[in-house]
Amino acid sequence: MERKKIRWGLLGAGVIIDRWIKGAMQEEDMEIAAVASRTAQSAQQMADRYGIPGVMSYGEMLARDDIDVVYVPVPHTAHKDLTIRALEAGKNVLVEKPAAVTAADFDEMAACAEKNGKFLMEAVWTRFFPLAGMLEELLKEGAIGDLRLMQSSFAFRSTPEAAPRLFDPARAGGALLDVGVYDLHFADMVFKRQPEEISGMASMDTDSLHLKVDEQNCFTARYDNGALAVMTSAVRTTMPDTAWLFGTEGSIEIPVFWKPSRMHLKTDTRDEWIEAPVSQKVAGIEDEGYQYEIRHVNECIRAGLTQSPVMTWEKTKNVLTLCDRLRSQWGLKYPFE
């Protein structure tokens, strides 16, 4: 007898959902049973576009007992409450990044998952790309000697008119929480430890826009072995989204490091581009790679886990703790004023 597929519910129907569903369509062991949002209209549009059978309110979805796991892709400030409601309603949860606005908020979410015996993971999809595993292996085998410095930036050009959420303090906008967290997660992935120190600068309220969030920032982390990570994020300028890793015996360049598909290894004896294999169940869909994290969540749920062995609660908490520290250096308080 064929086993039942894992049934997903989407708690939100915004910009990211379109991209995420293209990844979900590549997965066998799941079906999207329903989509919810505050306004029936946006959920209905999403349902029509992708043939999702159920359209409902958040409350109606959480009351259903035929949904195994929910995806929470809503503005940052709504992550905590919606996640806790879902966990209390007995649902497993994949919550978008940043999992919460502060480390203390995430503690409450993790405690709730533990209490209810349900799975909770922050959707840091970068960590599940095949290339991420290949990179970790290269570093482990010492391909570039000792890793001494990482440099990365994640930055794109937007405006308050085009993407109000990014510039809105009430929705915890700003570059650090939107894309800087990718730099921090990547640093955690390659250095495999929490830095001893982090400090940086941010631009806010510096021109005619009078922004109340960080439009751009630069920050540096220092590790106990003297290694450094130099990171930048921005939402009003585009930069190359590249990470460079510099070691005592060579370097690795990873273009578009937050959804990595290839890397350039350069040492005294090697100079080569290394590509990751791509698997597509449904050809012709321009999926970006969300299927890897989705597959991992499905596997964790099948195994009855409460947290991922890869994207652990500790890693989420570590990154949010660094964000707390940076925001406090920049005078960006939460709740935002």
Name the residues that contact ligand NAP, by CB under 6 A: 12-16, 37-39, 42, 73-76, 78, 82, 96-97, 123, 125, 165, 178
Locate 278 and state its tokens.
Answer: 């791509």
HSE of 119, CA atoms in CB hemisphere, 13 A? 22
- Residue identified by tokens 């050009």 is 157
Locate 96 and state its tokens.
Answer: 């978008």
Name the minimum Å distance from CB 30 to ligand NAP. Answer: 17
- Taking the least distance from each CB to ligand NAP, the nearer of 178 and 253 is 178
Name the minimum Å distance from CB 222 to ligand NAP. Answer: 27
Is beta strand 54-56 parallel, antiparallel or unpaired with respect to 30-36?
parallel
The residue of the chain with the least Cβ separation from ligand NAP equals 14
Measured in whole angstroms, how far is the alpha carbon of residue 315 from the centre of its chain? 12
Task: Tell me phi and psi for residue 310, to 5 degrees.
Answer: -95, -60
Name the minimum Å distance from CB 61 to ligand NAP. Answer: 12
Type of residue found at 21: I
- Residue identified by tokens 């979900």 is 24
Name the minimum Å distance from CB 260 to ligand NAP. Answer: 13
CB atoms within 10 A of CB 270: 11
The torsion of the CA quartet 170, 174, 177, 178, rounded to 10 degrees, works out to 110
Angle between helices 313-330 and 103-116 (to 10 degrees): 160
Give the E-state strand segments of the chain in sequence order: 6-11, 30-36, 54-56, 69-72, 92-95, 120-122, 147-155, 197-203, 216-222, 228-234, 243-247, 250-254, 262-267, 271-275
Name the minimum Å distance from CB 270 to ligand NAP. Answer: 32
Name the minimum Å distance from CB 60 to ligand NAP. Answer: 13
How many Å is the Cα radius of gyration of the chain?
20
Name the minimum Å distance from CB 163 to ligand NAP. Answer: 7
Q: 89 and 65 in contact (C-beta within 8 Å)? A: no
CB atoms within 10 A of CB 231: 24
Name the minimum Å distance from CB 46 to ligand NAP. Answer: 8
326: left (phi over 0), alpha (psi -120 to 50) or beta: alpha
Name the minimum Å distance from CB 223 to ligand NAP. Answer: 26
